């Protein structure tokens, strides 16, 4: 008995459902020639389109030469996002305040080199990388100077101001630092004549001697944090390692006067730590001075 299909749609009963979905290998030479001809025409079409596209590109390129900056974004694509990254305390908000409103400017409207120069004029910024991320993102990546000392300067106009001193001797006012961070930094005490203002009045020249002190502060903070916390004021005189009279002086809570010679701070700090652990010294609330600048000989005045 023959079965009747009941639930199929009318369309499904037509011959079109029997049409082959993909044509099989040509069985005759005529079919093969037809297929090759069709494929050949298709490839010729692709090649023609490719050639047309290349021709257009070449023409555009040749007519564009010497016409100035290449604007890949096209006209009027405003910057919608600023990607700001830093290893310090500055924020994207700071950047926007510093830069001012973008006012619908596109990436290609910005002079990246100039922006880079302006950023480096900020003393807190050690280095900066600026890039365009098309179509509408400005990417800023900066590395900040880290403060190691605080310098109090009094001027007639502005009164007393705290300047932060980085390890390379750069003086800057510092933005975005928590008050506690600044309060824990030792003060710098140097001869006022060593501090020279810039000609354009935008701050001070770099303090050359700080680079000799920085390794000491870095080491003590890292290796002997207990000692570091007690340090109040750091000063230096002729801090050239080759100068026999060069020295670094530190005033701390317990030892009122510490003297280091520039160089081999690790050995000097080790001796200092050893001394401070001596029972006789530990018992005393304060020590008058310890001089570590004479090599293996340490002079302490109780």
Partner 1 sequence: MSKIIGAVEIGTSKAKALVGEVTAEGGLSIVGMASRPNEGVRKGEIVDYRKAATAVHAALEEAEKMSGTTVDSVYLAQTGAHLRGQMLRGSASVSSSDNRVSVSDLERASKEAKRRQPETGRSYVHHIRTPIILDEKVVEDPVGMLGDKIDLGYWSIDGDDQAIRLALHVISNYSLEVADLILSSIASSTMMAGPDLRRAGTLVIDMGAGVTDLALYRQGYVAFTGVVPVGGDHVTGDLSMGLRILEPYAEKLKIEHGTASSRSSDDKEEVWIIGNKTIGDRSVPRKAISDVIHVRVVELFEIISKELGGLLDPDELKGGVLLTGGGSLLPGIEEIAGKVLGLPVRRASFPPGIAPELAQPENATVLGLLHYGLQDHGLPGRKAGESQTIMSKIAGLVGIGMN
Question: At closest approach, how far in Å is the CB of 45 from partner 1?
Answer: 14
CA 155, chain centre distance (Å): 32
Closer Cβ to partner 1, 25 or 61, answer by number: 25
Handedness of CA 50, 51, 52, 54 (dihedral sign): positive
Binding mask 24-63 for partner 1 (x = CB under 8 A): x-xxx-xx-xxx-xx-------------------------
Binding status of residue 157 toward partner 1 by CB under 8 A: no
Nearest residue (CB) to partner 1, 6 versus 296: 6
Nearer to partner 1, 24 or 180 (CB): 24
**Nearer to partner 1 among residue 31 and residue 120 (C-beta):** 31
Minimum distance, C-beta of residue 49 to partner 1, in the bound complex (Å): 20
- 3 contacts partner 1 (rule: CB under 8 A): yes
CA distance 86 to 175: 13
Q: Closer CB to partner 1, residue 34 or residue 196?
A: 34
Report, in Å, the least distance between residue 48 CB and partner 1.
18
Q: Work out whether 196 is an interface residue with partner 1 (CB under 8 A).
A: no
Say if CB 148 and CB 228 are below 8 A apart: no
- Residue partners of 107: CB distance under 8 A and separation at least 6: 73, 77, 79, 132, 134, 135, 136, 137, 138
Q: Output phi, psi for 4, to 5 deg.
A: -110, 130
For the window 7-26, what string marks contact with partner 1 as x by the rule CB under 8 A?
-x-x--xxxxxxxx--xx-x
- Residue 99: CB minimum distance to partner 1, A: 57
Q: How far is the CB of 16 from partner 1 (least distance, A)?
A: 8
Q: Give yes or no for residue 1 binding partner 1 (CB under 8 A).
A: no
Rounded to whole angstroms, the Cα distance separating 194 from 212 reads 15
Nearest approach in angstroms of CB 37 to partner 1 is 7
* Shortest distance, position 46 Cβ to partner 1, whole Å: 18
Q: Tell whether residue 2 is a contact of partner 1 (CB under 8 A).
A: yes
Q: Which is nearer to partner 1, 8 or 229 (CB)?
A: 8
User: What is the per-residue DSSP string for 104-170?
Assistant: T-BGGGS-HHHHHHHHHHSTTEEEEEEEEETTTEEEEEEEEPPEEEEEEEEETTTEEEEEEEETT--
Q: Does a cis peptide bond (omega within 30 degrees of 0) precede residue 135?
A: yes
Contact 81, 92 (CB under 8 A): no
Closest CA to 106 of 131, 79, 82, 80: 79
Binding site for partner 1 (CB under 8 A): 2-6, 8, 10, 13-20, 23-24, 26-28, 30-31, 33-35, 37-38
């Amino acid at each position: 008995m023959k079965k009747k299909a009941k639930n199929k749609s009318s369309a499904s009963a037509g011959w079109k459902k029997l049409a082959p979905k993909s044509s099989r290998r040509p069985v005759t030479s005529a079919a093969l020639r037809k297929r090759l001809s069709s494929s050949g025409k298709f490839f010729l079409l692709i090649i023609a389109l490719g050639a047309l596209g290349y021709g257009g590109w070449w023409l555009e390129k040749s007519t564009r030469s010497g016409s100035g900056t290449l604007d890949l974004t096209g006209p009027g694509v405003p910057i919608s996002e600023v990607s700001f990254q830093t290893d310090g305390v500055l924020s994207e908000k700071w950047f926007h305040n510093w830069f001012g409103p973008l006012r619908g400017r596109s990436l290609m409207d910005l002079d990246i080199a100039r922006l880079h120069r302006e950023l480096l004029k900020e003393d807190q910024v050690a280095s900066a990388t600026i890039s365009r991320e098309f179509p509408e993102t400005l990417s800023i990546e900066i590395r900040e100077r880290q403060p190691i000392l605080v310098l109090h300067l009094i001027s007639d106009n502005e009164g007393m101001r705290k300047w932060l001193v980085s390890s390379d001797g750069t003086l800057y006012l510092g933005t975005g630092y928590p008050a506690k961070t600044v309060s824990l930094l030792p003060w710098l005490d140097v001869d006022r004549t060593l501090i020279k203002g810039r000609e354009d009045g935008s701050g001070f020249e770099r303090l050359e001697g700080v680079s000799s002190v920085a390794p000491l502060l870095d080491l003590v903070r890292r290796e002997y944090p207990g000692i570091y916390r007690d340090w109040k004021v750091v000063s230096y005189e002729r801090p050239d390692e080759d100068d026999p009279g060069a020295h670094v002086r530190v005033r701390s809570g317990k030892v009122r006067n510490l003297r280091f010679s520039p160089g081999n701070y690790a050995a000097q700090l080790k001796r200092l730590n050893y001394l401070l652990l001596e029972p006789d010294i530990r018992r005393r609330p304060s020590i008058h001075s310890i001089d570590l600048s004479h090599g293996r000989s340490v002079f302490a005045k109780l």
